[in-house]
Structure formats: C-alpha cells, structure tokens
Chains A and B, each alone.
Chain A
Amino acid sequence: MPAFREDFAEILRLVRPGARVLDVGCEDGELLDLLTREKRVDGQGLEISPAGVSACLAKGLAVVQGDGDRDLDHFPTRAFDYAILSKTLQQMRDPRHVLSELLRIADQAIVSVPNFGHWRMRVSLMMRGRMPETRALPDPWWSTPNIHLCTLRDFTDLCRELDLRVDACAALSGGKPARSIRPDGLLENWRSETALFLLSRRAEDRPEATPQNLFGEVVLPKSEGAKPKPRRRKT
C-alpha cells in the first residue's frame, strides 16, 4: 500500500512551496497536513463530516465545516493560490458552478475526475448492458455518490466553455506512476482511468506551463508513518 493516495503524490508535486491552498472535501486533513509539512503551505480545509473536522482541528489545520456545493461562498475572491478538489467533482450537485467557484477563489484549481470514457467502462457497459462497476467507480448505480460522471472529453469541453486553461494534465491509474497526457487526445479518453488537471482562468496572463515539467517520475517523500491519534478520553 502506498504511503498516501496516488493523487496526493501528484498534487504534492504541483503545489508551489509556501502557497495558500484550499482543499475542498479535505476529509481528515491528510493532504493538507502533507502539504503543510512538505511544502510549508498556508492551508485551509472545507469538510462536511464532523469527524473529519475534528481530525483536522486535532492536526492543527484550519478547517471550515461545510459543503463544496453550498459553502464555497465563504471564501473571498482570489484568496488562495490553489483550490484542490480531489475525486469529488462528480459528486457535486452543480459541478459547473463548483468549478467556476474554485477559480474565483483561487488562481489555479487542481481537480481530479474519474474518466467515464475509460475502456473498462465502455466494455462493461457494452458487454454487460449494465452500469459499469469498476475499481475506479466501484458502487452500484443505486448507491453511488457519483451523480455527475463525465468523460475526459466532456470535462475538457466544460473547461473550454468556462474559459479555463489546462495548465497540466496527468493520467492516474491504479497505483502506477502518473503519466503526463494531452487531455484532448482521442486515445487518452479510452485509456486514462482518472485524470488530474491543473486549471487556471484563460483570461489571465500566465506563462504556459509545459505539462512535461509538471509531471514525470513521481518521487514520494518519506512517510513519517501514521501519527499517533490524540487520546479522546472523556473523563
């Protein structure tokens, strides 16, 4: 088992040291904690579950209890360098609004989305005639939290529509090293299981980043192992 989620390793590579980071859906704060320790970021989390919020507070992270669909209005315009939304855009009620909110709040958004156009999905649907259940999207249709699935091509279309620029894109799949890709490539829409995007507003004058510079061989920082959980004994 890797020390942390594969997308975390990628995000860790992307984020500039000392940046201001908002993690939407930060859960127990693992990524923020990692970014704080490794990149000295000024981090802020948004998390809906009380247990996640308590865990973040215990780690000394700043966290606001709230919902990415409803509570992004808590944050002022351009308050952050990066807004991170990892693997949950497809669970939002209004992904289009969330995406544009992320890029109101932050200069750049780091968003990962499972690709419904992946060959496993296509084959599963074609051969079985049922909603695909794959390792990336394992839940049956009636209990899946993923209510707004899209293909890589759908997502890049939406980015275009919102006038967002893809500064970098990488394909992630099942623990293999991340692979820098051109998200509008026809083949990638078949073979990328999950894609991680670095997005910015097109209107801004920002030097074009070369995807090859942002992704490459992933070097995982040494894990310090699980920190002992603080005792929560009620006397």
Chain B
Amino acid sequence: MDAGAEPDAEIESGGGTWRFPAGKPLRLDSGATLPNLEVAYKTYGRLNETRTNAILVCHALTGDQHAASVNPATGRPGWWDNVIGAGLPLDPGRYFIIATNVVGGCMGSTGPASTNPKTGHPYALSFPVITIADMVRAQAMLIEALGIETLLAVVGGSMGGMQVLQWAADYPEKLFSAVCIAAAPRHSAQNIAFHEVGRQAIMADPDWRGGAYEAAGVRPEKGLAVARMAAHITYLSEPALQRKFGRELQRDGLSWGFDADFQVESYLRHQGASFVDRFDANSYLYITRALDYFDLAAQRGGTLAEAFATARGVRFCVLSFSSDWLYPTAESRDIVRALNAAGCRASFAEIETDKGHDAFFLDEPQLDRTLRGFFASTAQARGL
C-alpha cells in the first residue's frame, strides 16, 4: 500500500493502491477472472470508532479517485470539491469518504494499460470486458479490506449513479443509504449510439494500432480527442451552449477555412486536447462498453423492482437534472417507481437547471441543499 500524496492540506486525506493477493482475483461477469487486482483509492476524513461513518463516492466515466483533492495528473482541483470539503454536504470532519478508481480505469486501478502478469506486457485488448457490477465488486473487496462492514452511504453521479444502483442490488446489506444522481437503470439506444461514435473515432485513428499503441510508442490522440468532443456535447444542453458561446467568433471575421472560427469549436477542441493528456484510449473503450452493457432490470429477469427486492432497509435518494438529455428525468423516475414497487424508502428530486448532465459537478444551490439535507438526516438516523 503506497502512501498517497497529500496536496490538500485543509482536509485529512489518505489512500494509495490496494493490491489484492494473487489468490484473491476479481471474478468478472464475463466469466473471466482478473488476478493481482489493484484498486487505487483516496480517503478524506477519519473512520470513527464504530466504523459507521464511511461514505463511498463513485466516479463518472472519465472521473477518478481524486474526488476532493488536487489531481496529480492535471494539477486541477478534485472533480467533486464543491460537494466534499469542510462545511460542504460531505464534510470530512464528520464522514470518512472513500473514492476509488474503477477497475478498467487508467488512474492506478487495474485496467487495459496494466501489465498482464501472464505476458509481462500491457493487457491492451486482451483485457477482459468489464461491467458496472465488476467495478462494484472490486469496490466491495476494497471496502472489506479496509475493515468496513456497512457504508453510511454510497453516492455517485452518471456512471457513478449506476454503480450506486448496482451496489443496492448486489450488496444491500452493506448499505445504510444510497444516492443516485443523474443516472439511469439502463443504457438507452441513444446512449449506446453516442458511445459507439466515440469508440469508432478511437479505433479509426491509425495510431490506435489495434489497441497495441503503447508497445508501438504512440497514442491515438486524435481519435480519443474526437470521442471526447462528441461526448462532451451530450454532457451540456442547448441553452447552456447558446448562453456560453452563441455564434461568437474567436477572431474578428470568418477565416473562410476550417480553423476554429467559432468559440464553441475552440472550446470543444480544447476539451478534446486536454482530455488525451489524462486519459487512456483503451480505458475509454472498456468503460464505455461497461456502461452500454448496463441494464439492471435485465440482470433480474426484466423487472427493475426485482433488483431492489432485498434493499428495503436502504434509504434511497434519486436526483435528476431538468435539462439532462443524456440521462433524462424520466429514467430517474423509472428508478423511483421500481424502488416504490419494491417497498424501498425512496426520495426523488428533479433539480431545475439549464446546465445539462454535467450539472452534478457544478455549483447548483438546490443540489447542495438537497444533498445537505439528505446526508444530515441520514447521519442522524444512523446515530452519528
């Protein structure tokens, strides 16, 4: 276990990489097993004596374990530092907050860029296809290794929200509460379609080399950037794009060519270019695949409520954003209906915002109020 760097002096943080022994492989939904599993994680705050204040934070597609401290790969603040921090809804002075990098990721957990112990080379495309349930299983192994029997909460947005639902389906006895933000119980045709565009962009890049780019000393940066650009549009909303950029030009007048004339083009190019510095193309393929395969009802004979049949003791909070067209409110309502049908204790709120799917990273007063109220009352109910 490596000691993690502590760039954020304000809150107590820890973490590192948990290496599971070869005799304890991760068993995958595909039937394959992943030996020598490594799970990179960060912690904020301190576990209390009764071990009842632990909260697991699950990240979205391109997120990582650096939820509330400076990300060493980018030098930028943690992706949820407006929610985790002193005086914020998830206060490390009160809770022990754990954030992991998902299996299949590229920030320290075992993924396609990791070395295959059998060959001594990076897995690349020999890495087995993983699922959301596999990610959750790896997290559950870490939680157990950390000596935590039950989590006060598991919380996440987007793909993180899907992990939350999977936790409730697979490990309800380990949860006191579950907060699912801007997610869906399955990937829709449109979700899959956008991901396929991204994957095809990566695979069409000559530098992808059938996934073996690392061995060739190149990276499919153009393809990965295009994938990110296409995906980024789905995280915003039409009004937000209009408000931010409109038809504003980069310079005076048009170039009468194909430079980035419009500010929105320049913005997207920047999003693509900065993404390739921090993300691995094969990880992007694997994680988008995991999302596409996600269908919680299909795992339980086609009835979503069945997935929550054993989760009656869990306090649920489901949140959506009014302008999110990637995982629209109707899909969150499907989750709530299923929770109610299963007899679970469920709360639901639709946060009014024009900022689209990415609103869960942003300062939204209503989101802040809702999370604050839910976590405070949950902690009280747990006797904290």
Hey, which bits of chain A sit against chain B, CB under 8 A?
A: 42, 44, 50, 53-66, 71, 73-76, 79, 230, 232-235
Given contacts A57-B347, A65-B350, whether A235 and B370 have CB atoms under 8 Å apart is no
Chain A residue contacts of B87, Cβ below 8 A: 233, 235
Given contacts A50-B352, A57-B349, whether A79 and B340 have CB atoms under 8 Å apart is yes
- Chain A's closest residue to B86 (CB) is A235
Chain A residue contacts of B337, Cβ below 8 A: 73-74
| A60 B377 Cβ-Cβ under 8 A | yes
A234 to B376, CA, bound (A): 15
| B347 A62 Cβ-Cβ under 8 A | yes
B1 within 8 A of A: no
Beyond contacts A64-B348, A230-B373, A234-B363: 6 other A-B pairs, Cβ-Cβ < 8 A, are: A54-B349, A54-B369, A57-B373, A58-B376, A64-B340, A76-B341
Tell me the smallest distance from the CB of B366 to a CB of chain A, in Å: 6
Q: Mark B337-368, 1 if CB is under 8 A from A, else 0.
A: 10011010111111110000000000101101
| A74 B336 Cβ-Cβ under 8 A | yes
- Chain B's closest residue to A63 (CB) is B347
- Chain B's closest residue to A59 (CB) is B377
- Chain B's closest residue to A235 (CB) is B87
Chain B residue contacts of A64, Cβ below 8 A: 336, 340, 346-348
Given contacts A60-B377, A75-B340, whether A54 and B366 have CB atoms under 8 Å apart is yes
Selected from B336, B366, B368, B381, the residue in CB contact (under 8 A) with A50 is B366
- Chain B's closest residue to A233 (CB) is B87
Tell me the smallest distance from the CB of A180 to a CB of chain B, in Å: 34
Given contacts A74-B340, A235-B88, whether A57 and B365 have CB atoms under 8 Å apart is no
A63 to B85, CA, bound (A): 26
A232 to B375, CA, bound (A): 13
| B372 A58 Cβ-Cβ under 8 A | yes
Selected from A58, A65, A71, A235, the residue in CB contact (under 8 A) with B377 is A58
- Chain B's closest residue to A47 (CB) is B349
